[in-house]
Each structure stands twice: as C-alpha cells, then as structure tokens.
Amino acid sequence: MQVLNVTGMTCGGCVKSVEKAVAKAAPDLAITVDLAEGKVSFADGVDPAPVIAAIERAGFEAKPAA
C-alpha cells in the first residue's frame, strides 16, 4: 500500500474534493482518504505522480509518506 501525506484537508468537503480529483485523473484507482491522519492510500505498483498532481490541482499539498 502506498501512502501520501496530504496537508490542507480540514473537513468532509476536502475529502470529497480529493476523491473527485483523483477519480478524474485515474478513474480505475481505488483510494482511501483518512481525514484525521491527513493521508491518502492506494495500491502498490501505481505511479504516484498523477495522484499527487491531481491532489495538488484540487488545492492540497501531497507527498509520499516517509
């Protein structure tokens, strides 16, 4: 499982924005958004660059978790 740290999410609306942005960029990719932890998770073997770009276009900062 790949995990991204996402900053700037403060509410359920933010979660929906992230989900919509990623769905538009990668329609077949299933993600899990954890608002409390500020994390987005998705399957291994997927290039994270388009996911990060989509999240950033939605107005949030995303980077791979250490």
CATH number of 2-64: 3.30.70.100
Query: What predicted TM-score, i.e. pTM, was given to this entire model?
Result: 0.90
- 35-64 mean pLDDT: 95
φ and ψ of 12, to 5 deg: -60, -30
Rg value, the chain, Cα: 10
Residue 66 clears pLDDT 90, i.e. is over it: no
Helices and strands in the chain, H and E counts: 2, 4
Write down the mean pLDDT value for the chain: 95
pLDDT at 23 over 90: yes
Contact criterion met (CB below 8 Å) for 52 and 62 = yes
Domain chopping of the chain, boundaries: 2-64
